[in-house]
Amino acid sequence: MRALKIALLALNGLRRSPLRVTLTTLGVTFATGALVTMIGLALGVQRQVETPFRALALLNNIQVKRDDDGGKKGPPLDDAAIARFEELPGVSVAYPDAHVKGIVVRYGDKKSPGIGLAMPREAALVNFADEIIVAGAFFDESDQPEVILGVEVIKNLGFKTPQEAIGAQVAIEASTALEDGAKSPGPAQPLKVTVVGVYRAPALMQGTAAQQGIILPVELMKKIPSTSLETDWKVLTALGSSAGAGYPSVTVRVRDPACLDDLAKAIGDMGYHTQTILSKLQHMRRFFLAIQLLLAVVGSIALAIASLGIVNTLLMAVLERYQEIGLCKAIGASDGDLFVLFLTEAGIIGFLGGLTGITLGWLMSLAMEAAATAYAHQHGITGSLDLFAFPAWLLAVSLGFAVAVSVVAGIYPALRAARVDPIRALRSH
């Protein structure tokens, strides 16, 4: 109750200089707005960068390569090696990395080029589908011939919406570019598959080949009819045999990212070079953390400058209400009461400035996103860019920080108010 009464008194005090208090609060508003916008941008960009990794469940992957350090080659990365990886506890699947270019999808009289990506059917167990599948679903674990196509591919095939493509039978074949640029058609029996899903790559990947993926289960990828020339996959298949030199790269997907390091070490002990996306991501996170800290420091400087306005406003208030402070002391206010009263006034300025600052930051982010999206559209990137992230903790911390900085700024004026000599104050005019 006492706190409420002091807060009401503080509000009454602030009401007496509306223009000055409004200008001071605006200082805090702009500083908090800048702080929230800058950190929100850093967090948003980080999220945008991380989303593809999460969406494709890459954080569970270990990239395995043949160790050829110093000219001494390690064991081959062939099918036998893949089988050994899959036997390791915690490994859900291992498969050679196959990005086969020169794949053509046909639907009726329409066709679309694409990039073949082999994915294990077990990937349905991770969060791939939730993040980027815009229609249909990931592969079921049956042996049905299924495919997931990028939005650009289904557009080329004449589907108006992603949903329309679900269930459609498409034909897939390889057509490898000859060195002279001529196309060699595939054999007469292309691979018939059913479209079970359509994906859209995250915003920042738009406008790139990322939308042209043709995702096939690993075993189906091997069945793509080859051209008279060797397809990329044929080369890969040859590499996988014990007679070949091995695959250039194999992906090992683990069930729990917590086991990633242990399994990477186990595979490393088998003589292979390993790399995890998670470790790369952690390096990137450190970079983003540094950026966020830098922006937070810049925002804090703005808030510190705004706090000077609070000091000034409250010092003026102490001077203007000098007699009133003396009176309050005469009628029983303690030094502490006056200290708390002025500190509360500072806190209220900080709270109001913080709240309006967060709102301003949010509005600024909307405007900046709209501008960035419009710019991106001009450069062929479709969809809206979601550049800012405002997690609840950022809003709470920003508001708390604005209040804390304001209260700290209020300490000196509050001390001045607390130290007022009532006799001198009551005699003053």
Partner 1 sequence: MIIPAALLLKLAALQATSSFIETRGLSRQYRVGPAEIRALADVNLQVPQGQFVAVLGVSGSGKSTLLHLLGGLDTPNAGSVWVDNLDLAAMSRYQRTIYRRTTVGFIFQSYYLVGSLTAAENVALALTFQGVYGAERERLAAESIARVGLAQRAGHRPSELSGGEQQRVAIARAIVHRPRLLLADEPTGNLDRSTANEVIGLIGEIHRELGTTVVMVSHDEEMASRVADRVLRLRDGRLETGDAAR
Q: Which residues bind partner 1 (CB under 8 A)?
A: 1-2, 4-6, 9, 12, 15-16, 323-324, 326-335, 337, 422-423, 426
Q: 97 or 337, CB closer to partner 1? A: 337
Secondary element (H or E) of residue 424: helix 422-427
Q: Tell me how far apart the alpha carbons of residues 145 and 139 are, in angstroms, rounded to a whole number.
A: 9
Contacts of 200 (CB under 8 A, 6+ apart): 132, 134, 150, 151, 162, 206, 211, 383
Least distance from partner 1 to the Cβ atom of residue 13, Å: 8
Structure tokens at 242: 């014990």
Q: 191 or 328, CB closer to partner 1? A: 328
Q: 304 or 423, CB closer to partner 1? A: 423
Least distance from partner 1 to the Cβ atom of residue 334, Å: 4
Q: 330 or 374, CB closer to partner 1? A: 330
Handedness of CA 47, 53, 56, 57 (dihedral sign): negative
The DSSP secondary-structure symbol of 205 reads G
Q: Tell me how far apart the alpha carbons of residues 278 and 53 are, in angstroms, rounded to a whole number.
A: 9
Q: 1 or 243, CB closer to partner 1? A: 1
Q: 196 or 349, CB closer to partner 1? A: 349
Q: 163 or 428, CB closer to partner 1? A: 428
Q: 57 or 418, CB closer to partner 1? A: 418
Least distance from partner 1 to the Cβ atom of residue 329, Å: 7
What backbone torsions phi and psi does residue 97 show, to the nearest 5 degrees? -75, 120
Q: 64 or 420, CB closer to partner 1? A: 420
Q: Would you say 75 and 86 are in contact if contact means Cβ atoms under 8 Å apart?
A: no
What backbone torsions phi and psi does residue 169 show, to the nearest 5 degrees? -90, 120
Q: 8 or 304, CB closer to partner 1? A: 8
Q: Would you say 386 and 44 are in contact if contact means Cβ atoms under 8 Å apart?
A: yes
Least distance from partner 1 to the Cβ atom of residue 425, Å: 9
Least distance from partner 1 to the Cβ atom of residue 316, Å: 16
| DSSP states along 8-75 | HHHHHHHHTSHHHHHHHHHHHHHHHHHHHHHHHHHHHHHHHHHHHHHHTTGGGEEEEEE--GGG---S
Least distance from partner 1 to the Cβ atom of residue 394, Å: 37
Least distance from partner 1 to the Cβ atom of residue 331, Å: 4
- Of the candidates 17, 34, 30, 27, the one whose C-alpha atom is nearest the C-alpha of residue 345 is 17
Cα–Cα distances (Å) from 8 to 11, 348, 378, 400, 419, in that order, read 5, 10, 53, 20, 22
Distance of CA 36 to the CA centre of its chain: 16
Least distance from partner 1 to the Cβ atom of residue 26, Å: 22
| DSSP states along 316-370 | HHHHHTHHHHHHHHHTT--HHHHHHHHHHHHHHHHHHHHHHHHHHHHHHHHHHHH
Least distance from partner 1 to the Cβ atom of residue 410, Å: 20
Cα–Cα distances (Å) from 101 to 116, 120, 174, 177, in that order, read 6, 18, 8, 9
- Of the candidates 92, 90, 133, the one whose C-alpha atom is nearest the C-alpha of residue 266 is 90
Least distance from partner 1 to the Cβ atom of residue 345, Å: 13
